[in-house]
Amino acid sequence: MNADGRTRLDQMPEWTALAGHREELADTHLRDLFDADPARGTGYTLQVGDLYVDYSKHLVTDETLRLLRELAAATDVFGLRDAMFRGEKINVTEDRAVLHTALRAPRDAVIEVDGENVVPAVHAVLDRMSDFADRVRSGAWTGHTGKRIRNVVNIGIGGSDLGPAMAYEVLRSFTDRDLTVRFVSNVDGADLHEATRDLDPAETLFVIASKTFTTIETITNATSARKWLLAASGDEAAVAKHFVALSTNAEKVAEFGIDTANMFEFWDWVGGRYSYDSAIGLSLMIAIGPDRFREMLDGFRLVDDHFRTAPAEANVPLLLGLLGIWYDNFHDAQSHAVLPYSHYLSRFTAYLQQLDMESNGKHVTRDGEQVGWQTGPVVWGTPGTNGQHAYYQLIHQGTKLIPADFIGFAEPVAELSGELKAQHDLLMANFFAQTQALAFGKTAEEVRAEGVPEELVPHKTFQGNRPTTTILARALTPSVLGQLIALYEHKVFVQGAVWNIDSFDQWGVELGKVLAKRVEPALTEGAEVPGLDASTKALVARYRTLRGR
């Protein structure tokens, strides 16, 4: 029993039933499941919006799915979901509502936090963003010298970078190709240097994105960017035309020297890693235009509505969350690969890493007790065909179980033509071939039948039984991107709810930040830092010697 009166997750009968069921299925191969049910390839599928989700190549039966849904019911996943959508403060350690879903709510929706409807403010900011984005795109907003803005540099980190940076790549073919849009996050000066070295300050707009406006990397880079601008213009008044801020903290924005008239606001009930459809998306909106941005929000909303209303049997985020639990907790899988078959999704998995690992990388329950079960998986992956020639070997024939999501599109982006368009079928042939190979493998008998010498047979045998989800859509559009992100947001939610952890705080990143601040004077001034361990002390001394200090 937990302190909050809940039965410990691993003592629930639904959990024990799943553990027993796992034993029963131990010798079942995906080949058996497909042989036993010829309709499995179409039966084990769901559709949400434009996303066709095939989960037939999972190590599950109807009974597995039933037991998993019972676990979800016993842990009241839908109860917590409803509390989230209602604006209750389900982020218990920060005492905050969790309302990224309000960012894409329709104008006439009513969602209250502390008795106040937040939807009008959401739309007021969206309207201001749209107006500003239109002015930059049309050339109506000019730099200090009257030159048109040709470059947008977003400075932010974590949730204030990964979302817009990822989405900008995903939607590149929808962007205004005359604008250069870059994203700077790393406090390594090389990042800002490379992003600005070929730009004209008079044509450059800096978008400073930080929920707290206290993040040291962002403030340091923003300060350097301001110096870079002022070195060229020499006039403090230039800042107002070349800097805008995206933040919840007007006071700190003003303190930095950005006019709050040039600030686009969001709220403490938007978590950093859930924020790119808030004001944090401004750089993206400038790149793709307000209409495309709103199409993306519609995509998010479509999946929100689905998650909120679809019954458990047809609820895709619930299903994906529970499948993850099945592997994490009952197959002892350590990681989860996300493998998009689209070049445009090159930053997609990096984005999901923060979404999933910062949300569910927790070791205590919501009431502070040590968990006795695995929580969030290590999320990793890169676009598929590149991965095939790098790490797929381990997925196919290694000793670790790595469940994977394969994401692909029937059509290449509209911009492609001729041979480049024709290459899409080859890309997708790989997409389909890989999940088949992973599921069904190649038996020793099949290998022998090819005349392979006996000593090579074990090497050329593929066990198969490697589980995958296939997500297929017609085309990669702004709406489809919104649908995909909302799908993963809610999947992460489901898992956090079952594990009874707070998916919306991130205390684990604090210690490193505090220590970095403490260590810096030791590097620069050779200051004695109390409490520095012997290894770190020696490393700092070596660093100073190498720097000639």
Could you list the residues that contact ligand F6P (CB under 6 A)?
157-160, 210-212, 215, 218, 272-273, 358, 506, 509
| 270 versus 487: smaller Cβ distance to ligand F6P | 270
Residue 85 to residues 102, 191, 211, Cα–Cα distance (Å): 8, 38, 22
Among residues 92 and 452, whose Cβ is nearest to ligand F6P?
Answer: 92
Token pair listed for 499: 């594990």
Q: In the complex, what is the shortest distance from the CB of residue 103 to ligand F6P, in angstroms, rounded to a whole number?
A: 15
* Residue 158 parent element (H or E): none
Tokens 């990143």, residue located: 509
C-alpha separations of 92 from 134, 274, 275, 321, 516 in Å = 39, 17, 19, 21, 28
Choose among 291, 225, 216, 276: nearest CA to 246.
276
Q: Which is nearer to ligand F6P, 328 or 358 (CB)?
A: 358
CB of residue 248 to ligand F6P, shortest distance in Å: 8
Question: Of the listed 23, 389, 450, 528, which one is catalytic?
Answer: 389
**Closer CB to ligand F6P, residue 422 or residue 509?**
509
Min. distance of Cβ 317 from ligand F6P in angstroms?
Answer: 22
218 vs 500 by CB, closer to ligand F6P: 218
Kindly name the residue from 265, 358, 362, 489 that is annotated as catalytic.
Answer: 358
CB of 157 or CB of 282, closer to ligand F6P = 157
The residue with its CB nearest to ligand F6P is 272
403, with CB counted inside 10 A (0-12, 13-18, 19+), is buried
Sheet holding 51-54, edge to edge: 45-48, 51-54, 468-473, 404-409, 335-340, 378-380
List the Cα angle 237/238/240 in 5-degree steps: 80
Give the residue with the Cβ less far from ligand F6P, 215 or 342. Answer: 215
φ, ψ at 91 (rounded to 5°)? -85, 90
Q: How far is the CB of 516 from ligand F6P (least distance, A)?
A: 11
Least Å distance, CB 186 to ligand F6P, is: 13
C-beta separation of 159 from 273 below 8 A: yes
Indicate if 513 belongs to the active site.
yes
* Distance separating alpha carbons of residues 436 and 468, to the nearest angstrom: 9
Among 193, 363, 400, 513, the active-site one is: 513
Cβ 271 to ligand F6P shortest distance, Å: 7
- The residue with tokens 């978590």 is 271
Q: Toward ligand F6P, which CB reaches closer, 154 or 506?
A: 506
DSSP summary character for residue 145: T
Q: Dig out the tokens for 494 from the structure.
A: 């489901």
Residue-level length of the chain: 549
- DSSP label of 517: H
Contact 42, 459 (CB under 8 A): no
- Using the Cα atoms of residue 424, residue 425, residue 431 and residue 437 in order, give the sign of their dihedral: negative
Longest dimension (CA), the chain: 78
Q: At what angle do helices 62-74 and 77-86 cross, to 10 degrees?
A: 50
Closest approach of ligand F6P to the CB of residue 152, in Å: 18
Find all residues with CB under 8 Å of 66, minimum gap 6, and list them. none
Return the SS3 of 153: strand
In the complex, minimum distance from the CB of residue 262 to ligand F6P, in angstroms, rounded to a whole number:
17
> Residues with catalytic annotation?
358, 389, 513
